Structure 1
Amino acid sequence: MRKSILGLSAPVLACALAALSAPAFAEDAPSSDLTVSGNAAVVTDYRFRGISQTDKRVALQGGITVTHSSGFYVSTWGSSIDDYVANGSDQELDLIGGYSKTIGAATVDVGVLYYYYPGSHGANTDFVEPYASIKGTFGPATAKVTVNYAPKQRALSIDGGLTKKDNVYLAGDLTASIPKTPLGVSAHLGHNFGPSLLTFADKGYTDWNIGATYTWGHLTLGVSYVDTDKNFVSSYVSADGTPRTTRNLSKAGVVGSITASF
């Protein structure tokens, strides 16, 4: 979900226990109170806040969410990544717990996200990030504002984990379906505040994208144009000791996707 070789480690236990407790919760609650949804996808490039996590190569992704009628939910989502992201790890696993409630025309969503990178050879790569969002629907359009705040952690430091850094990401999203068609459009604008490892050690950067989708049954085909005001190339040593230099990970590009939902 970000770049490099630093991190945290403890909160994963709490998030994992919350996720593991979901089946027991499902046994006690009426079946109508729980909704299970999931998806699997192939994307031509995994972009996190505008920055490629796969060196501009294909990624496999998937996730599952269990939602209770009260508004509480637990979720997990994963993606393949390039080994420059997290000290040799080739996968990212996100563990999520939150609560969503609709109040009038607005839906408020709050929760905590834990980014876990298995196989990172003991480096500080994992971190926790609480989030909050509010969205409203206006006819076929939905507008959403989100803020993510990662408190001070060694995973976000820019000095090899000797100190701790925090990070704020503020984003706005607009999506709309085109009436009487299977088509949809979207736009995104976000700013990553720094300095921290998530902003590549400087004062931050802005990312944006525009996209379109076509839905056919359980399949959704998507294409988007992604760009940032960064110019970022990473030189590093891979897990096998080979010196490597990435492509320009923040350069504008077109990203395609095929997603199956269930």
Structure 2
Amino acid sequence: MRTSIIGLSATLFAACMATPALAQEEPAKPITVSGNATVVSDYRFRGISQTDKRFALQGGITVTHESGLYASVWGSSIDDYVAAGGDQELDLIAGYSTTVGAATIDVGVLYYYYPGSGGANTDFFEPYASVKGTFGPATAKVSAAYAPKANALSIGNGKEDNLYTALDLSGGIGDSGFGLSAHLGHSFGPSYLTIGDEYTDWSLGATYTTGPVTFGLSYVDTDKSLYSPSGRNISKAGVVFSVGAAF
């Protein structure tokens, strides 16, 4: 759920270029704070709609230390079928990122918190790890997230766990502001996150960034068939639009 700070970095770079040449450069701060706000036409989590194929408001803030430690809070509106009637998801994240040679390694833990679930067993932890590398204009990332056995993940057989693995490819198109991405993921069940058998999700996307604002368009699909209480197939292929700002 974490977001890129490319837009913020570009803004800071432009500000530095505008500074008089004789001015002294300010030393890098040990702690940086970044944030984002986004509107999406459909909040898809691992290919499955969390908003019954309707719009969602999302936003987050990240505090990063020069050592590589970071902490984030990210939130999104959701439909009430996701978490026992709750209408909001909050992701509380703590992690560490470092570069080893040409690879960037990121490890951490994410806590899914649903404040409107009325005390139901909906919240759970999910440790994660990823390795990312850049090859010319493209970046490849391999990641895995494992949610240990918890009552919140049960679909009737006591505490259950879940494993999610993914491969992501992304890259910019020169200095045009356009970017392309591709994603392939697999959820191993059974658990509440798969609603039964394991399944695969994938997506293709494009973005355009101008200043701190990014416009996005993606095609999302799965090999699962899952219906919401309203009768919508929330795992069916769909096109998702988004507009977000980094600050």
1:223 is aligned to 217
Q: CA deviation at 1:35?
A: 1.1
Q: Deviations over 1:93-137 (max 9, x none)?
A: 000000000001000000000000011011100010000000001
Matched residue, 2:16: none
- Alignment correspondent of 1:172: 167
Cα distance in 2, alignment partners of residues 153 and 124 from structure 1: 9
Once residues 178 and 58 of structure 2 are traced to their aligned partners in structure 1, the CA distance between those partners, rounded to angstroms, is 22
Any runs of at least 4 consecutive aligned residues in structure 1 with deviations exceeding 3 A, and if so which? none
CA distance in 1, matches of 2:223, 2:233: 12
Alpha-carbon distance in 2 for matches of 1:53, 1:176 = 27
What is the alpha-carbon distance in structure 2 between the residues aligned to residue 200 and residue 84 of structure 1? 12
Matched, 1:259 2:228: no
Could you list the runs of 5+ residues in structure 2 that have no partner in the other structure?
Answer: 2-26
Q: Which AA in structure 1 matches 2:211?
A: G
1:1-262 to structure 2, matched below 5 A, reads 32-159=29-156, 163-202=158-197, 204-235=198-229, 245-262=230-247
One-letter amino acid matched to 2:186: H
What is the TM-score normalised by the length of structure 2? 0.88
Give the counterpart letter for 2:111 in structure 1.
Y
What are structure 1's unaligned runs of at least 5 residues?
2-29, 236-244
* Paired residues, number: 222
Conserved 8 A contact 2:41-2:240: yes
Percent identity for Structure 1 against Structure 2: 71
Q: CA deviation at 1:31?
A: 7.7
**Do the aligned partners of 2:52 and 2:228 also contact (CA within 8 Å) in 1?**
no
- Over aligned residue pairs, what C-alpha RMSD do you find? 1.3
- Check the 8 A contact 2:40/2:243 in 1, yes or no: yes
Q: Deviations over 1:16-37 (max 9, x none)?
A: xxxxxxxxxxxxxx98101111
Distance in 2, matches of 1:83 and 1:207, equals 23
CA distance in 2, matches of 1:191, 1:145: 12
Q: For residue 163 of structure 1, report the CA deviation from its aligned partner.
A: 1.1
CA distance in 2, matches of 1:233, 1:32: 48
Deviation at 1:234, TM superposition (A): 3.0
Deviations 1:59-82 (A, max 9, x none): 000000000000000001000000
Query: What's the TM-score once normalised by structure 1's chain length?
Result: 0.83
